[in-house]
Structure 1
Amino acid sequence: MKQDANVRHSVVVVDDDPVYRSFVSLLLTKKAGIDVLEASCEDDLVEIINQNSVDCILLDYNLGTDNGFSVKERLSSRFPVLPPIVMLTGDGRERTVIRALRLGIDDYVSKRDLKVEDLLSAINHAVAKGRKDQLARAEYQRLVHASGLDPVTRLPGRTQLDDRLAHLAALPPRSRAGYAIALIQMNELEDINTSLGLKVGDQALRAFGERLQQLTRASDVCGRFAGRTFLVIIDARSSPDVLDGVCRRFADGLTYRLDIDAVGVDLSPRIGGVLCSHVAPHGVLIAADLIRAAQHALDVARVEGVPFHVLGSPGGGMPEPAAPEAPNTVIEQSEPDTPSRPAADQLRTSDRRANPRHRVLKRGRILLGTNSVIDCAVRNLSDSGAGLRIDAIFPMPREFDLVIGESGAKRRVRIQWQVGNDLGVVFIA
């Protein structure tokens, strides 16, 4: 039984026995013209899935100290969608077959008296089922997109939120003065995706969104704006105190422990709120102005290490200001092409540092692992930390090694804040 001549399947053979793995690979290549990739363990398989388009995984049940069931469960938590899996094993007991099917393994072939026809039939059946499921997912995504809902959280998505913001901005100043917006980020999403997988990350994001929706009032609009960021349009009744109270309720209610498949993760928010009357109070307002202002508040909350900040609120979740700025501290001005950055006087004044920071301009190197080096400019320096600028915007690890100057000593640093290309770090070693 040969596959369609016009279609070449790509199959990964996963077996810790190199002789048997090569035998099966040769069988599929010579007899059926299948493109075969080989993996000896789970790590090899993950690397192949990340780098190649795979139609089917032929997974051995017995992988030395591991087994195919455990590998399947871990892969399912790591990848939102897996290629179909056919299990290959010498254990033909009924309970093993039943468990395989319950785990979502698409088919099962015994190694004993292996026949190429049976193997190809199982692969073709699994691939056909996988493509049918893929079409069903695509149709579901299309319907969700047409409805304006976010496919992960099932809350209103970006299109609905943009329309609502545009409507809000178009209101006359007196009418829009009764509203506010809050941007809310789930702090731990990137760490969860990295350590537990994208599937668990989506589950956490959905649970976080559901909890946020429960905390909003009937008069508010809540949805997923982008990535880990949610947006709430709030009926604030023109009062900074009302908005401050709403953001505090969000901060308290969204700080909790979530259990997912016997794994506990601690979740917490970062929130930036702004009254619409605070943005262009007497003039023309566009939706982007509201988002920039809320992002500004969100960045201030991140820099200050507090759960939330509200623009225009006397408290706003911020600490009390400290002593006036020392005369030897230089405050940098925000560039006009980066409107979402917090104002310089809120980010880099000496009253928010343990030590005064002096303007410098030195070359630096950020060391990531053993082979990755990122050039940076050291723009400010103090006994406790430094201000850095990198050439491109990308997420950085929380801690890394920093070399200042051409022959400077290596220092271990931790990121305190990152706004665009700029980073603030503290020395920890």
Structure 2
Amino acid sequence: MTIPDGKRVAIVDDDPLFLEHIEAALLREGGLRVVKLNDSKSLFDALQNQSISCVVLDQNLGAESGLAIGQALREQVANPPPIIMLTGAGSERTAVKAFRIGFSDYVPKRNLQNRELIGAIRSAISRAEQDQAARERTKKLLEGERHDSLTGFYADHYIRARLEEMTSGRHASPFALIAVRIKDSRTIHARIGHRASEMLFRDLAAHAAKLDIRGGYWGHLGTDTLVSVLEDDPGEDDVADACRLMASKLKFTVSHDGLSIDCEAIVGASLFPQDGHTADAVIDTALAESDRAATLEARWATSFLDPGTEAVANSQLDDSLAVPTPDRRGMDLSPPDGIDRRRSDRRRDQRYRVLRRGRAIVDGLHSVIDCTVRNLSESGAQLRFASYFVPPDRFKLEIVGAGEPRWVLVRWQVGNDVGVQYEEQG
């Protein structure tokens, strides 16, 4: 007698004598355990409650047909076991239909040879196991491709695909993107070479992986940028906290060929949909903000302060944030005497780097255009709009959560950035 190997085969037939016979034969000659069933209901119950390696299904089950049961099984059961058709009055047409539905094999019941049925069962189980192993290998390969081998984070193509999904169609949902790079990375790369630069970047990723970023996950973007994606409409405080944490914790020293390299992260963030309506626009804004942080010698974390907390020194602010620039309307947007934003007066009127939602109420106060408030002082603000437009010289600005809208005067415009001054109330 062959020792059973634990494989269970469900035999579905409405002839109890045949079931008894085939059970004994499959156990004795093939080492197969048999689950005896007589209709579709008992088959579906068995598949739900037991591990079935193969189904042998009689074509003629009185009121039910094996073809119909097999098709229902393929449609309703996830990863169904292989099915073998067993019939006493078979025809070539029935066999073709069975294979089209997805049956693994077809064995005539007339003059049935036990060894033939056992061989068909064994072959069907083996092919199913090989197919499952191939699917597992493919799944692992795909999962491996989702991750970058250098950092262990999500790879560039996966991050971009995910951002595309979150910025398009009915799947669009608010999120934040935080870009992190090593300060002066290009200079460091030129000095120590590609392989050593990869080592630094890998160390940056290792330090980043230890951070507890609530609701965020890490990815590798481009050649020298890590990104943290915060989904599910993160609050501005959450983004601010994440940026501050990254800026304060992502500092480390690496020794290479006698050099001691102090590495420090520069951080830039963007929000969807405030900073653009496409994945590329959101990415570009985050990268531009990290470049700005490096240029200003200021960590991005300090850019997310609300009024009333620690201020960024005015001497650190880029002149482009304050020096008026004529826009393409040909208007002179220079501020009047007494509100010059150049260095000496900027120090008297302290500015706070913020990231808050705003609304420009224009066009006879009937149109509302969303914007981001990125720079704030007692006398005015810097606004960024998702796309370029020419605002009126005077409109109402509402800063979400900061009280009633206030009248403002446009003082300068550079691209999508607009500097406004609060109108004095007489």
- What TM-score comes out, normalization by structure 1 length? 0.39
Larger Rg: 2
- What TM-score comes out, normalization by structure 2 length? 0.39
